[in-house]
Amino acid sequence: MDRGGFIQNRPPQNQGQGLSQNFSQVANFIRNNETDYNRLHSLAEQIARELQLNSTKIRKFYNYVKKIKVLGRTADVKKDLNRFVAVLMYDTGREQNQAGLRQFAEGMRNVVEAVKNHANIDKAYETFVDFFEALVAYHKYYYEVVGRHEGGRGR
């Protein structure tokens, strides 16, 4: 069943549905201007528990998104988010047999669309970065710490 935070006996298609639902909830959170950050972090944790992606890959994408914020070019946020999605899809296409990366890419694409279409893109972008930061942190915990405790690194 649930071994150390990893869903072991769940069929892969159900894992994808759970990820898809959780990513959709994050997109709705952004669309609806919700402010319950406990809920946002809970969704990030749920996604991190099921995400089958190595820490290096997720960190690469997070750094890309974080760099948009550092550049501080509000007018180009949509353009930079489009570029992020393109890089994400390119990396997904390059991977062989990587269902986990595909699920992550599709989910993040959905969330990015909510950010790009938001009336207040700066606020939506900040919420997206908060979510992504929490996702990276929880993923590190479930992938590295819990994975090691269970007798191996990661999944």
Taking only the tens place, the pLDDT of each residue in 71-108 is 666 668 999 999 999 999 999 999 876 888 999 999 99
Query: Is there a contact between 16 and 103 (Cβ–Cβ < 8 Å)?
Result: yes
Question: The domain containing residue 134 runs over which residues?
Answer: 2-149
Q: Is residue 49 part of a domain?
A: yes
Q: Is residue 155 part of a domain?
A: no
Is 50 exceeded by the pLDDT of residue 51? Answer: yes
Cα dist. 71→25, 28, 41 in Å? 28, 27, 25
Is 60 exceeded by the pLDDT of residue 4? Answer: no
**Domain tally for the chain?**
1
Residue in 69, 29, 22 with CA at minimum distance from that of residue 50: 22
> What band does 148 get if pLDDT is binned at 50, 70 and 90?
low
Q: Spell out the residues 6+ positions from residue 152 whose beta carbon is closer than 8 angstroms to its own.
A: none
Cα–Cα dist 109/103, whole Å: 10
Q: Is residue 154 part of a domain?
A: no
Q: Is residue 19 part of a domain?
A: yes
